[in-house]
Structure 1
Amino acid sequence: MLLWLLLLILAPGGGQSGVSPKAFLLLKPPWSTHFQKDRVTLTCRDFHFPAQGDISWYYNGMSLNKESEEIRIEKTGYYKCKTRRSSLSEPVYVEFSTDWLILQAPYPVFEGDKEVALRCRGREEASITEKTFYKDELKISSTSPFILNLVPRDNGKYHCTAKKRNWIISSKETSKPLTIQLQELFSPPVLTVSPSQPTEGSAVTLKCETWLSPQRSDIQLQFCFFREDKAVGSGWSSDPELKFPIMWSENSGSYWCQAETATHSVRKRSLRSQIRVQRVPVSDVNLEIYPPEGQLIEGQSLLLICSVAKGTGTVTFSWHKEGTVRSLGTKIQRSLSAELWIHTVKEHDAGRYYCAADNIHGPILSKLITVKLRIPVSHPVFTFSLAGAQAVMGDVVELHCEAQRGSPPILYWFYHKNVTLGNSSAPFGGGMSFNLTLTAEHSGNYSCGADNGLGVQRSEVVTLNITGPSSNKYKASLITVGVPTGLLSILGLAAATAVLVGYFRTQRSSGGHFATGTPSYSPSEFQEPSWSRTSNADPQNPKHSEPPALQEPQPVYSNVNLGDSNLVYCQIWNTPHAKENSANSPRRHWEDKEPTIIYSELKKAYPDDSTGQDSNRNIDEDATENYENVPCTSSAVDH
């Protein structure tokens, strides 16, 4: 009894809510046909043992006023029952016969039973002989009891005959036809879906639910699931459930299942169920950029991540740049995010970006995100801006440095012989200039550098060669080159001297420096002359032939001993004379001679000049009235 109870509880479908198990009837004795006055009882059972309360009985469809688990019956007809936890049982037809001969079949006989014993019984069994069994009027056996193999599913009619013996004569008796009542081994399966309205990306469980009669609880069932006309899962299995970890909209369709015995003797299928996997529209589309804030340097990689907060199924992601028609890229995948790389960003990649996501319901756009691109400066171009064809001492030259590419602000440096002259910032890009008043020492190599925080770039080196003075006041001192001392005009000397004195007074009074941003030098910064050279001037031939690249004479300025109140300044020119060679020779040879002193000390014509009262006088006044040329003293030469 305990084993039967355990099998009853564990039977497939037992206790499941999808298919309510049926109550079943137990007939005692287990025959569907009886003689009148036979004692026959019916018992109502469900998957619990025993059946608990609220038992209902029905006879020929009419309710009987009985609630007990077991009842005694005496009338021919159809009987059913049900309990509170079960559905209505299969009907059983019980016949009470008044005939002398009856054919008895056991109850219940289930689908798939291989052997069924039919019994031919007489009211007076001892007087029965020669029993014969027929199916549809055809003799099938003379053995009693007759064992019927492989119970047919048709409605064949069976009967039996027998000889009745008495004291006088014997007769042949025939039973009424009997139809074997087949009971369901298990109910037609029902396919259930959980959840009933699945959404994409969620797990779904299919269950093939059926009810196996507890009277055949030892029968093994197996199950198979189908979509349209193709099996899904692993095929036939003893597990009545099939689990899909993830369902997509394309998995929608018509599903059904089959259940059968392990011996394949009984197979039943469920009705079809339409499973429609719901798709959740995408929402909250968002675009992220790495590096964050979109601060990129030209040449770096840019990562664009498009994501959605919700959305199921296959999502189409696309990336766009504002102002362009074609998308930057598209990806179709089952995920809530997708990535797009721009491996080497260019200047034109700066701008505003957005992405879109779509899963059939229509694209949803993200907000715009600005990508800022910083461009390293290119090698700057360094140029001079001259007033004339040559750079001459005293000229103001504009040094200009400009990087053609680069994100502002840009800081520029100006270099002379790798020494920084100054720097300047261009907050909005473009180039910068630097003004420089030329002196002799400003000859040499110049360059500039540019930097916007992404690395310094240097320009090419430009060489600047500075020639002698270009203005009239300086040319006055240069026209003495190669002219004998005796030919020098005292008036011209005085005028030139006055200009130089005024010029250097101005320099000395201002501390010997130029305006801010312009390098300056004092006269004492000039290179001292070399007194070891000698002049090659030919006294017999005062006319000189100037070489093609005549080296300008280098004046040396030095304040003389101010102890002599009458002495203001001393200037010495070292004037090498050219020795003319043969016309066939392109080279000029120079021989060092004694330096020729063109003019030396400038002496005040007014003794009160030493008091400094004359410092404001105009240097363009007649120099002959203010200065005179005097021989240079040894102390002046020493300076």
Structure 2
Amino acid sequence: MPTLLLFLVFISSFVDHSQATFKPWVSLAPNWNKVYRGSVTLTCNINVTGWKEHDYKWYRNNQGIFTSHKALTIGNVEEKHSGDYQCETTDSERSDPVRLDVSKEWLILQAPPYVYEGDTLTLRCHGWNDKFKEYSSFYQDNSPIPSTNFILDIENVTRRASGNYRCTRERWNVFFYKTETAETFVSVHELFSVPAIKLVRSLVMEGDDLMLTCDTTLAPPRQTTGLQYAFYKDGRNVQEFSFSDTYRVPSAQLEDSGNYTCEVGTSTGSLRKISDKLFIQIRELFKSPEIRMIPAKTVTEGAEVRLQCVTTANTGNRLLYTFYKDSQTIQGATTDSNYVILHTEEEHTGNYKCSVQTTDGNVQKNSPDLHLLVQKTGPTSLGSTSPGSFSDGGLSFDHAPRPSDRQVDVDQPQLTVIPDVVAVGDEIVLLCESTRGSLPIHYRFYHDGIFLGNITVQEKKPAELRLTIKSPTMSGPYYCDSHNYFSTQKQLSKTVNLLVMDPQSDFSLPMEEEEGSTVWPALGILLLIIIVTVVLLFMYRHKMAPLFTRCVQQQPNTDQTFVKARARVGQRPTNEDIDQSHSTNNDQEEYSNIPTMKPPIGEDICYAYIEINRTQEASATPTKRNDDHSVTYSAVKYSETSLETRASQETSNPTDLYQNFTVKEH
């Protein structure tokens, strides 16, 4: 019984709906709103597919006409047949009225009873008989319209073409031509209504089908007119003109949200109308995911790291999670939003991300990449750390900032090294500070890429790390980094170079090493030049001097009388030279006029050895005397400056002469 009632309600609603949509329209043949005489046929038209004919009813001026046929023919119309005609059926509404005027005027202006947008409007200035000239003048609201004869065609009319039309034409009246005038009112009807774009489903979630329709209504007499539809999003065409009045977006995404419009036009393009905008917001199914690393993004080998794919769902739909490393899948789509690395190794370093999707795969969203750095396990850190702030060289946030805190990322930190030149055994202080950023701020210290220690500060002050210099290898660049809870990446400071001098070293030359520096090569070349110069000077003075240094020997003065002179000028005489001189001419005195003259520049001492022998006269009694003598003169060289000074003192000899006498006993 309840099923039958539901069926009857369904049928009754369908019938009511059908009756509301059937509306016939009346056509005339000939298709003029005014006629003189002759036969006129009126037809009741219904453009409904599958509709079965029933009895018709006709009305003139709302008065019934006793006929039940579809067509109403008036064989010879008269003035009494003038009026508004309507029709209906037992299953339809009454049609709109159509005006038919039967006239006896000399001149009438004929027009079609129905004129629609895009039609060609034909007007005929028609006379009672053939006494009229061919030419006729036409006017619309007293504005002349160019014409060539008594028929006027106006193509592709719009609603603005509605109005009063008038025509004039000359008629021969026995002796002269008389101007006759006729007028009529023309109403240009809407061919189809302004379209309305509609959303089939009022709420569209991500992954749902988005379906839009472009609804318009054709005028009943033009139900067979072919219309085409186009769709636009934010002014950009998304579906070209076609006979489909529906636009569909399968598996709609957030980017499909926007302002949509549709446009309707005739197949010839003579008439087009566009709808108002309809804003459509695709409802987000779940937020874009974020990947998190626990305990930190930087860990040492052996640490456990857990990756979390975090999102917020707006519905209870089941979601699947996938994890990637360097764009390669490491965990397929599962309902587990975590991925755990139990024992990290250096090869686990890389870029990680995750994706979230619905079970049907219609909606998928990816997180941004997050870099994991796994450092090799090294020696114990040189610096102290704040308890609970770090784990295995990695950063973990023990205390999230309060909701009231202003969420500010850190800026680039500045590193200060005090002092920047030290010796082994000294202590240095490293200060690292970011001037901006929400607290707490976490700092790390490095020496030439080696992790030294970390500090967490809870107030606005620099992080301080003290180190004791244990060897010269602690020279080189130092730097630090900083970040806080709101940082997307660490901020690195500029490097500061530290010079460590070894007290056991003989020489230490402090010098800042700059990129592209040529100081060390230049020093090496300079040192090589100095060494070569010293070697050459040594060779010159001790090896090569005899080749270039000679005392000058001067010939004896001939004006003086000597029996025999012999002199040896050169380097210091040897004992051989002295003995040889003794064995020669023992019985004669031998002299040499030893000149005193300026020694050559570059000499130190020149020696002159002179042996004096006296010839003894014959005597009966030999006498024992020391008559043989030898003397050695040495001339000590002065410098150029001292020579010039002595010359100014009018000293003739440029050298000091020293003599050593040797007396031989015979």
Task: Give me the TM-score of the superposition, normalised by structure 2.
Answer: 0.37
Greater relative CO (CA pairs within 8 A, separation 6+): 1
Task: Give me the TM-score of the superposition, normalised by structure 1.
Answer: 0.38
